[in-house]
Structures are given as C-alpha cells and as structure tokens.
Amino acid sequence: MQEVLCGECGKVINSRDDLCTFLSMNGIQALCSDCYMRNQKTIRGVRTPINSQSTVLVMIAAIVACLLLFVWHPSWIWVVVAAIAPFIRSLSWLLFERKLKA
C-alpha cells in the first residue's frame, strides 16, 4: 500500500478520517486533519474538503440543478458543468483515498 503524506507537515496519513483533500492552485492537495484545521484560519484554507459529506450533498444538488437546466434549456454545457464536481471527487479518490483504509 502506498503512503499518503500531508502536503504541509509531511506526516503519514493513515486513515480517511485524518485525510482532507482540497482543490488548490496546484491541483488536488492532501492535508492531515491537524494542518487542515490550522489552515481553516488562514485565507487560503477557507475551503470545504473534497472528501467530506457536505461536498457529496453539494455535488448531488449541482447534478439535479444541471439536470433541470438541461430539461429547460437543452445544452451540453449543463452536462459538462454537472460532470465537474464528480470528476474532481473521483480524482481525489484516485489520488489519495484509494490508498487508505476506511
């Protein structure tokens, strides 16, 4: 099993509970929960982790909204918009969460 290291303190992250992934300028980054909490107080840390329950809810809401918009104004742009969040979520899973046990 590969190791997932915290992008800030370099600590080995052992469980998904301790992992917070978020979108940054450099792509998807992984932080341990301690560093994530510390970063919450700074401007660059005001983000919801990708691997949180609320992100899944936002993702479902976005897909439903895009589905409705697609029905009212058929355009492929809604399909693309609806696919962004699940794409980022699965990328986070592929890069980090897959390597950790639940």
> Of 2-10, 47-55, 59-67, 88-96, which segment contacts Zn ion by CB under 5 A?
2-10
Pair 30, 13: CB distance under 8 Å: yes
Give me the least distance between CB of 48 and Zn ion, in Å please. 18
Which position among 4, 19, 30, 32 is part of the footprint of Zn ion (CB under 5 A)?
32
DSSP output for 23-50: EETTEEEEEEHHHHHHHHTSGGG----T
d(CA 39, CA 68): 36
Is 9 among the residues that bind Zn ion (CB under 5 A)?
yes
Shortest Cβ distance from residue 8 to Zn ion (Å)? 5
Query: Which residues contact Zn ion (rule: CB under 5 A)?
Result: 6, 8-9, 11, 32, 35
